[in-house]
Structure 1
Amino acid sequence: MATVTPGRTGRTAAKSSRSSTTAGSRPTKTDIAPTPTRSLRLWLQAVLDRPLTSYHLVLGSASILVALGLMMVLSASSVSAFMIYDDAYFYVKRQAMFLVMGVVGAIALVRMPHHVLRVLGWFGVALATLLLILTYTALGFESGGNRNWIDLGFTSIQPSEFAKLAMIIWGADVLARKDKLLDQPRHLLIPYLPVCGILILLVVFQGDAGTAVVMGSIMVGVLFVVGTPMRVLATLGFCAVGGVVALFVTSPVRMRRLAAFLDPTADLNGANDQANAGMWAIASGGWWGQGLGGSRQKWGGLPVAHSDFIFAVIGEELGLFGSLIVLALFLVLGYAGLRIASRSDDAFRRYAAAGVTIWFMVQALINLAVVLRLLPIAGVPLPLVSYGGSALIANLLALGVLLSCARHEPDARTLLASRTRSTKPRVSAVVGSRRKSA
């Protein structure tokens, strides 16, 4: 029979108790309080993982840009509108009307079925080509040195703005149909490259080099997203550079703009007038700006301040802080667009989202570079912000396409489908109860 020593057993138990207490009190990773940086990162990750985050990012950033643009159009154009039309609200009322039209069109595109949108791209390219050709007829007229407008009697339109969107939707459909054949150059480039080239050449012969560069960037950017070999992209890049050089060499106006860009002190009352006025406006804004409506350059120093150079007025009135807010909003919009393109499981929506995003980012970059004297004057408006009916409506329609692609991300599509299924029984119950009571 074994004997048990009580003292030893007690000491062993006490030791075990102390060991368990020590081990239990030792902090683990789960016991350590999260740092503010880690908490912020986890919260941001949780927000970005939500199914409709891309949709809300596009809608939120675009809505703020449009609202800011409407406000700045009023501020930048009030003086010239009163002097020309005796109505300080002339331009902003027209911009608001264009905004309503564009929002209605965008909502229609968001709800439009997939197959209808793809068919619409073919009609859009045909219509855009016809309208671009009409600019060379008696209906076309010149504005700002470019013959890129059509007079319809009751209003005028700029077909090249709508040609960008038509080229994106049609190109996305063509490339999506050939998705499994795009490793062959023949299927990759035909008919996408010739049709896009015709649209770009029609714009080039109008004299609108800035819009042609944007359209060329869209074309090359979509080909890059598709996975075009670098040797093909390099060839297209060399052709594009040669085309831009030819545009400058063959145009005395562009050569004067280039000379003025290279020498800011030359032709101060001519080619350098607008560029220098824009820089003066931005420089006088400082950190916080002169206050909304406090711009001095809009009193005649900055020509057409509410259009291509509206960012200069933003810098003058809202300062560096307001300018950085605008840049941040465009970065959010660009991030959301690329996120939609990368998450889409449908080739058409992937290419369409990429095309719209490239359009907005390239055009915004060119406009900002021109205002900051990093590029010669190109006559390209700031998307969603600058004054212009054709540009604003086309931008809003493109946003409608981008929002439609966001709603069809795999997770978003599943969530919206579940909401629809859960809503139908409720609606049926309500209808049934009403019928019984009747």
Structure 2
Amino acid sequence: MLGSYADSSRLANYFVTSPMRPSLPRKKRISFFSSLRANPNHPIDPILLAAVLILLLFGLIMITSIGVPKSIRLSAPDILYPNCQSEEVDCYLILKNHATRIAIGLMFFAAVIRIHYSFWKRVSLPFFAFAFGLLLMVLFFGATHNTFARSWISLPNFPILQSVQPSEIAKLAMIFYFANWLDKKNKDGQIATFDGGFLAFVVVSGLIIFPIILQPDLGSTLVIAIIAAGMYFV
């Protein structure tokens, strides 16, 4: 009885490990929630991080040098001859607001940098659709903020972020979406074709560029067009 059981076990083990039936490696699938965890195999690029911090510091210095007159006007609009020695005048209001935004941005950066890249592939299409919706919204409900272009959405109830510019969100959304889209097109071999490659690229780019032209915001249009062309052709 024991011998027959042992023979059966060896026979079953033979069919499982037999070279005639090789076991195929299963593709590791990353779930939605596991993609939110940190990826230790992709550390932060120190050169890129240093460049970002230097640009932030440079912007903070520029805000300090040119933001004093506007800070005086915003903090003391009812004072006829305001000066920085007065207690009612805050000559560094713009600097404080900008530094607060940088601190909030760095906290978001510390959280976002730990998210696995597969998460951004999953949300690239909804993020792109959200940015496109904001660009359409700004055409109807946008504010000019003393500029020629209607490029902002006012947020009067937010003390730090009084307005948001959808074209800046669209830049990031387009990068995420194009990265995922170009990866799929490259794997399918359609990236070099006219219909599935270049024409589709022009249509998708137009969804972002055309609403910005209608604002009109030529600067953001050129920046987004250069980013899109660089991602496709380079």
1:217 aligned residue: 226
- Alignment RMSD (CA, Å): 2.1
Asked if 1 retains the 8 angstrom alpha-carbon contact of 2:192 and 2:198, the reply is no
CA–CA distance in 2 between the matches of 1:107 and 1:196? 30
CA shift for structure 1 position 190 = 5.0
1:133-189 deviations in Å (ceiling 9; x for gaps): 11122x311131000111233221100011011001101101101113123222223
Q: Secondary structure at the match of 2:153?
A: strand
Matches within 5 A, 1:291-330: none
Which is greater in Rg? 1
Look up the equivalent residue of 2:216 and give its one-letter code: G
SS of equivalent residue, structure 2 residue 90: coil
What one-letter code is carried by the residue in structure 2 that aligns with 1:96?
A
Number of matched pairs: 174
Measured at CA, do residues 133 and 95 of structure 1 come closer, stay the same or move farther in structure 2, by a change above 3 Å?
same
Aligned-residue offset at 1:74 = 1.5
Q: Which residue of 1 aligns with 2:142?
A: 140
- Measure how far apart 1:55 and its partner are: 0.8
Displacement of 1:57: 0.7
Match of 2:196 among 184, 187, 191: 187
Query: Hey, what's the Cα distance between the residues in 2 that align with 1:216 and 1:115?
Result: 26
Which residue pairs with 2:69 in the alignment? 79
User: 8 Å contact 1:149–1:159 — kept in the other structure?
Assistant: yes
2:111 maps to what in 1?
A: 108
Question: Percent identity at matched positions?
Answer: 28
Per-residue CA deviations over 1:401-423 (Å, capped at 9, x if unaligned) read: xxxxxxxxxxxxxxxxxxxxxxx
Instruction: Please list every run of 5 or more consecutive structure 1 residues that lacks an aligned counterpart in the other structure.
Output: 1-50, 226-438
Distance 1:213 1:61 in 2: 23
Structure with bigger helix share is: 1
Q: Does 1:170 align with 2:177?
A: yes
8 Å CA contact retained: 2:136, 2:211? yes
Aligned CA distance change for structure 1 residues 109 and 53 (closer, same or farther; 3 Å): closer
User: Which residue matches 2:168?
Assistant: 161
Contact 2:139 2:211 in 1 (8 A): no
Indicate if the aligned counterparts of 1:174 and 1:192 stay in contact, CA closer than 8 A: no
Distance in 1 between residues matched to 2:175 and 2:70, nearest whole Å: 36
Deviations 1:27-51 (A, max 9, x none): xxxxxxxxxxxxxxxxxxxxxxxx9
Aligned match of 2:154: 151
TM-score (norm 1): 0.38
Unaligned runs of 5+ in 2: 1-40, 76-88
Q: Distance in 2 between matches of 1:123 and 1:162?
A: 13
Taking structure 1 as reference, are residues 169 and 141 closer, same or farther at Cα in structure 2, changes over 3 Å only?
same
Structure with the bigger RCO (C-alpha within 8 Å, sep 6+) is 1
Q: Is the 8 Å Cα contact of residues 72 and 90 (structure 2) preserved in structure 1?
A: yes
* Shift in Å, 1:67: 1.6
